[in-house]
Structure 1
Amino acid sequence: MNHATNSQRGGQRTLDLKLSASGVESLEFIATELHPRAEQLFAGAWSACYATVFGKVAALKKITLPPDYSVDIQPSIGSAGKAYCLAAEFTVRVPGMATEVVEELVQLAHQTCPYSKSVHGNIEVKTDIVTA
């Protein structure tokens, strides 16, 4: 189920979406533009799925994540000749965890997440890891 509300942030109307995923109560896609572009909606759904999978692969590895871990995806559209192409920049924040542990979880989550698997090899994906 998806849940959407309108809100005001900084005098600008925005859209807040609450997304659900299997085994997770809800994930929030907060303060996007009132009329989001398709790539923003895709990135919102992808980040909700990926954040859920990230938590699940951590649990399978018996790694306890901090409650404030998060995944942000910044989509962009570029072009190659006359064709348009998508790119995505992930920021995975896991405060207090060793970078190499997060890197392993990031790779496992990309191998498991249905969105990541569906775009693998089709779009450029960059991942930044923040542990501070």
Structure 2
Amino acid sequence: MSDALYSVEALSTGSGRDGHVATADKAVDLTMAPPKELGGSGEGHNPEQLFAAGYAACFHSALLSAARTKKVNIDGSSVGARVSLVRSGEENIDLAVDLEVIIPGVESEQADELAQLAHQMCPYSRATQGNIEVSVSVGQD
């Protein structure tokens, strides 16, 4: 592995999706539970929630960076991430992600350009490229 700019360690205990997860520094310290839609109690967090939150934050940072590069003010922007579990074949389950970018006061063509540039810059987008379905759309505020 190349020189890391930042690393974080997390440990899962119990029964994975129905257990506990914490980072070494305890900044994240969560009870995990499968969602009701998958037969669980829904009384905890699940990996898809954590991935959605992380992807939304990372993509938004990339969007802000793209805007700085293009010298565009995108105050009030937001990024929403919907992470879904989808069937892939008879026994496999994959992730799919829908990202929705909102940039108030920016023409749709420029907003699309910024969203696509952010998609090229975002580490989550690059990590998932070719591995899972990711769609990026630009909505209206």
Instruction: Compare CA radii of gyration and give the structure with the larger one.
Output: 2
TM-score under structure 2 length normalisation = 0.67
The answer to which structure has the higher strand fraction is 1
2:88 is matched with which residue: 80, 100, 104? Answer: 80
Unaligned runs of 5+ in 1: 5-32
Residues 67-87 of structure 1 show CA distances to partners (whole Å, capped at 9, x for unaligned) of x11000010001111111000
TM-score under structure 1 length normalisation = 0.71
Partners of 1:103 and 1:121 lie apart in 2 by 21
Is the Cα contact below 8 Å between 1:92 and 1:128 reproduced in 2? yes
The aligned counterpart of 1:17 is none
Structure 1 runs (4+) greater than 6 angstroms displaced? none
Unaligned runs of 5+ in 2: 1-24, 29-41
AA matched with 2:113: E
> 1:112 and 2:121 equivalent?
yes
User: Greater RCO between the two (CA within 8 Å, min separation 6)?
Assistant: 1
What fraction of aligned residue pairs are identical, expressed as a percent?
Answer: 35
3-state SS of paired residue (1:49): helix
3-state SS of paired residue (1:41): helix
